[in-house]
Amino acid sequence: MDTGVRVHYLDWGGPEPGGGADAAGASSRQATVASGAAVDTPHLPPVLLLHGIADTAWWWTPVARRLRGAGRVLAIDQRGHGLSDSPREGYELASLAIDVLTVGVANGWVSAAAPIVVAGHGFGACVAVAAAVERPEGVAGLALIDGGMEDVGQSVGDDPEQVVKGLAEPPEVMQSMAAWLADRRDFDPPTWDADQERAARARVDEKHAGHIGLVARPQALLATVRAMLAYRPDELLPLVRVPTLIAVAGGSAPDDEQRREREIGLEENVSRLSGPVRVARFPSAGHNLARYEPGGLSAEIAQLVRIAAGRPRVDAPRLGP
């Protein structure tokens, strides 16, 4: 950034031969972001992927592998997370949105001639909305993955310290890398694979004594939670005028009052969007849709990219392996 803060991202390349991906699927880049890079001309708008709180760009691996068959795909470590810098300030939604847009500009995008599609998971969806509002001419589509459609401050309260405490893992989970990986695996053993292990490892640092801690710095987590609690969908969503995908995880039981209230809030916020909207539901999946429903989620985002490019929907989106 202009301030010298470095933003790290994974470049998954695109459909062209030699698109920049290494043997693991993505090339890793970290530099002081500056404009002036050569303009890329993909078949479809490039996609910038944003993770949620305490995650990293590797969360998106199962989706990025599938999407890169159509165009360029970048996954960003938001500031304070992963390999990006952790400054003491700059965690307001507008600042985080500028980080995202600057990564796009540095690659020759984010303009009326070369717009992008931004997809965010959880809190990343809030940042994606802010980016679309900040640069409407440069964002052609928006994917909100189980996030961005709720006033979290209203639903969970406005005490960021308590929210951060709720994110803390039990001490026994953090006592070793083996314990951490076993805990992540046991969420859903059938979906545990090499991609999930790499994403889990990227979230933590191994300490000298063998214990582990989150890579996301404490001050960054607290500042990011404050930004999440300050997010107001009723103010920002009416300013979004691009095709929008809303992916919703989990179903609702007939007697689930909290779920019914969330559904009412979702309907209200969907009505605030003025562009084309598709709500895709994954009733049997949890919040981590990239793990539980990578194929379905990738297909939905691929459809959004086609629509953002002015192309019709297709029954079978072209996805990479």
pLDDT one-digit tens code per residue, 196-247: 999 999 999 998 888 999 999 999 999 999 999 999 999 999 999 999 999 9
Distance between CA atoms of 175 and 181, rounded to whole angstroms?
Answer: 11
Residue given tokens 């009416």 in the structure block: 238
pTM of the model: 0.89
Q: State the pLDDT at residue 32.
A: 44
Distance between CA atoms of 105 and 14, rounded to whole angstroms?
Answer: 17
More confident residue, 103 or 155: 103
Would you say residue 26 lies in a domain? yes
Parallel/antiparallel/unpaired status of strands 116-121 and 47-50: parallel
Tokens encoding 93: 């939604």
137: containing domain: 7-156+217-308
Say if CB 240 and CB 273 are below 8 A apart. yes
Question: Residue 99: which CATH number?
Answer: 3.40.50.1820
Distance between CA atoms of 180 and 200, rounded to whole angstroms?
Answer: 8
Q: State the pLDDT at residue 321.
A: 39
Would you say residue 161 lies in a domain? no
Residue given tokens 């998971």 in the structure block: 121
Range ranked top by mean pLDDT from 157-166, 189-198, 263-272: 189-198
Per-residue pLDDT tens over the stretch 11-24: 998 765 444 444 34
Q: What SS3 string covers 189-206?
A: HHHCCHHHHHHHHHCEEE
Would you say residue 88 lies in a domain? yes
Q: Report which secondary-structure segment, H or E, holds 206.
A: strand 204-206
Q: Report which secondary-structure segment, H or E, holds 205.
A: strand 204-206
- pLDDT of 134 above 60: yes
Instruction: DSSP letter for 34, please.
Output: -
Phi, psi of 207, rounded to the nearest 5 degrees: -85, 170
Q: Which residues pair with 277 in a beta bridge?
A: 244
Instruction: DSSP letter for 270, please.
Output: H
Other beta carbons less than 10 A from residue 106's beta carbon: 20
More confident residue, 251 or 171: 171
Distance between CA atoms of 74 and 99, rounded to whole angstroms?
Answer: 13
Would you say residue 106 lies in a domain? yes
Per-residue pLDDT tens over the stretch 57-69: 999 999 999 998 8
The residues, ordered by sequence, that sit 6+ positions from 122 with a Cβ below 8 Å of its Cβ are 51, 52, 53, 55, 145, 146, 147, 287
Banded model confidence at residue 264, pLDDT cuts 50, 70, 90: confident
Would you say residue 192 lies in a domain? no
For residues 264-269, average pLDDT:
90
Q: State the pLDDT at residue 287.
A: 94
Q: State the pLDDT at residue 19.
A: 44
Per-residue pLDDT tens over the stretch 277-318: 999 999 999 999 999 999 999 999 999 999 999 876 554 444
Would you say residue 270 lies in a domain? yes
Q: State the pLDDT at residue 227.
A: 96
**How many structural domains are present in the chain?**
1
225, amino acid identity: V
Q: State the pLDDT at residue 243.
A: 97
The CA R_g of the chain, rounded to the nearest whole Å, is 19
Compute the mean pLDDT over every residue in the chain, rounded to the nearest whole number. Answer: 87
Would you say residue 256 lies in a domain? yes
Residue 57, Cβ density class (10 Å: 0-12 exposed, 13-18 middle, ≥19 buried): buried
Would you say residue 185 lies in a domain? no
Distance between CA atoms of 110 and 138, rounded to whole angstroms?
Answer: 4
Banded model confidence at residue 156, pLDDT cuts 50, 70, 90: confident
CA dihedral 77, 213, 164, 189 (to 10 degrees): 80
For residues 189-198, average pLDDT:
96
The residues, ordered by sequence, that sit 6+ positions from 35 with a Cβ below 8 Å of its Cβ are 102, 105, 106
Q: Which residues pair with 29 in a beta bridge?
A: 9
Distance between CA atoms of 82 and 178, rounded to whole angstroms?
Answer: 20
Q: Report which secondary-structure segment, H or E, holds 9.
A: strand 7-11
Per-residue pLDDT tens over the stretch 116-133: 999 999 999 999 999 999
Distance between CA atoms of 173 and 177, rounded to whole angstroms?
Answer: 8
